Chains A and B, each alone.
Chain A
Amino acid sequence: MKPDLSVKIKDITFRNPVTVASGTFGSEGEYQGWVDYEKLGAIVTKTVTRKPREGNPMPRIYETPAGMLNAIGLQNKGIEEFIEKKIPFFSKIRTPLIVNIAGESVEDYVCLAEKLSHLKEVSGVELNISCPNVKKGLEFCAQPGLAYEVVSEVRSVTPKLLITKVSPEAHDFLGVVEACVKAGTDAFTAINTIRGMAIDVEARRPRLANVFGGLSGPAIRPVALRYVYEIKRRFDVPVIAAGGICCTNDALEFIIAGAHMVAVGTANFVEPRATMEILSGIEKYLGERRLESIDEVRGTVKVDC
């Protein structure tokens, strides 16, 4: 018998725990031909904002050991065009769609969440309060008070699955998480990228036009794992893990630490089929151990202290 990979968060049943990290999976089927979108547990969009954003100047990316820096700057066409042009594409796919949103004010987040709450194609909203590459990007994640305000205001306008995406850069990380839980978030995505920098020693200039960029890839995986574990140790709330997940083993580490789902990010750029390979790897891991369901693996890390 095939093991049961399905995962339930709030009122949504995802067919398996494998999803993608915002901003790493394109916006209109770039991975078709590599990935069967119907086989993913969920699809997460690139961040959508109220107004179109051109994004940061070039250069925007720089490779680093076991990862990369990016400062894309939330380039997107804005919510109106997203609803008009992108939603029709996703409506043909039966996989739950999670739309990632970001704003510069509480009002922005509320407006975006409200617009999306009317769409049957949208299963969930992910609040990006942790983008390091735009002005005010990290503000809402920096203090528990602000995080509480934005999550509770959004909560009051949408009954949909509400996920808060957090940054490891919050000074009081667990305080922010607690505030979001109290404000009514249904789940967390952890983690967003970590701010970094690189310099061209010939030109003596930063490698990125934005100076700072978000570090992603395997380089941040141990950090991400620690944060996922810390959230799960303190709170009974579902977590979608992100941070350097490249293969089955990586994904299982996060699930054993307690993650409900695993989001493949930067690895998509290197191995476009990474999600599909991880999915079959998890299935194989369960099958070989005669485990009937992913529930028998989640959060089973044995810690002696």
Chain B
Amino acid sequence: MRKIKPVDEWVTIRENIRLTPRLLKVSFDFPKLAKIARPGQFLQMAIEDARDPFLRRPFTVYRVKRNTIEILYEVVGKGSRLLSEKKKGERLKIMGPLGNTFTMSLKKRIHVAVGGGVGIAPFIFLGQRMPVHYFLMGARSKEGLLPNAEFRGLTGKKIFATEDGSCGMKGFVTAALEKVIREVGDAGKLYLFVCGPKKMLEAVMEMAERFGIEGEASMDERMACGIGACLGCMVKTRDGYKTSCKDGTVFNFKDLLVD
């Protein structure tokens, strides 16, 4: 991988809006970062100047439009709640891009992005940079699904699954994956990109193994430094513990050890 120098600057919020009752989107201009960020990479966000909350919060790059970076997020705790209360014109400190990227040089494969909830985020950016043939998105209910308008400009086929059946297929995202496998016929042609909660990753990887499908997963762990210094965000691989933030977050299925 080419070595790029990450940047860390205060940026001004352009827009901070609610897309659904669960999903929000914040955007800001950061030309230097927009130029060097690649799909799968994340940034570390300081939401408050006063170091409270103390650690930065990691977020994936959701979309890049010229100089503007967009982040898709949900409110889960103090940091994300404070972020949701930020108004246009307020500031955030952003450090990035961090981590590795999805494999972009695959040929003659059917690219299937599988996102659980907000885990769909990196695949919109991926879809901006290479063909993604299927976007599979799972959520508890339709509030957790990305609105159609957010897929504008992307050509891949969208298949939604909700646990309560309020939108798309009823069930888990693996049901959507099964549908794709049936549709394509030859599972070996598929290549998966997966991001989402641990349980979902495990279920998808188990299916991939069963059908002999290759792919890679973004392994998101709690982070402190985000640059490989604290050894807090480890992922179990066949080659021992690796840092999610620096060696990942993207790991090939082949390298992962799932308990």
Contacts and interface: CB of A to CB of B under 8 A. Distances in A.
A117 interface: no
A292 interface: no
Interface string A182-196: 000000000000000
Q: How many A residues are at the interface, by size bracket?
A: 20 to 34
A164 interface: no
B234 interface: yes
Interface stretch (B106-114, B209-217, B219-227): B219-227
Contacts of A63: 53-55, 222, 224
B228 A60 contact: no
B36 interface: no
A268 B229 contact: yes
Nearest to A59: B222
Given A31-B227, A66-B54, 13 more contacts: A23-B231, A24-B225, A31-B229, A55-B234, A58-B236, A61-B223, A66-B52, A72-B230, A268-B225, A269-B224, A269-B225, A269-B229, A270-B56
Contacts of B229: 24-26, 30-31, 268-269
Interface in A202-224: 217-218
B227 A272 contact: yes
Interface string A240-256: 00000010000000000
B51 A273 contact: no
Contacts of B227: 26, 30-31, 272
Nearest to A67: B54
B90 to A, nearest CB: 19
B163 interface: no
A165 B18 CA distance: 50
10 contacts: A24-B225, A30-B227, A60-B234, A61-B224, A61-B232, A63-B55, A64-B54, A72-B232, A246-B51, A269-B230
A245 to B, nearest CB: 13
A25 to B, nearest CB: 6
B8 A72 contact: no
A266 interface: yes
